[in-house]
Amino acid sequence: DYFWMMGDNRDHSEDSRAWGYVPENHIVGTPIFIWMSFDNFTEGISNWRPRWDRIFTTVNGDGEPQSYFKYFLILLIAYLVGNWFWKRNKSTK
How far, in Å, CA of 29 to CA of 22, rounded? 14
Number of domains in the chain: 1
Query: Domain limits at 9?
Result: 1-30
Question: Under 8 Å CB-to-CB from 60, ≥6 apart: which residues?
Answer: 30, 31, 32
Contact 39, 48 (CB under 8 A): yes
Q: What is the mean pLDDT of each run of 10 residues along the chain (93 residues)?
A: 83 85 90 86 89 89 87 96 93 77
Residue 20 pLDDT: 92
Residue 12 pLDDT: 77
Question: Under 8 Å CB-to-CB from 49, ≥6 apart: which residues?
Answer: 38, 39, 40
Residue 81 pLDDT: 98
Residue 36 pLDDT: 86
Question: 78 in a domain, yes or no?
Answer: no
pTM over 0.75: no
Contact 33, 58 (CB under 8 A): yes
Question: 18 in a domain, yes or no?
Answer: yes
Question: 82 in a domain, yes or no?
Answer: no
Residue 8 pLDDT: 73
How far, in Å, CA of 46 to CA of 61, rounded? 33
Question: 4 in a domain, yes or no?
Answer: yes
Question: 17 in a domain, yes or no?
Answer: yes
Amino acid occupying residue 15: D
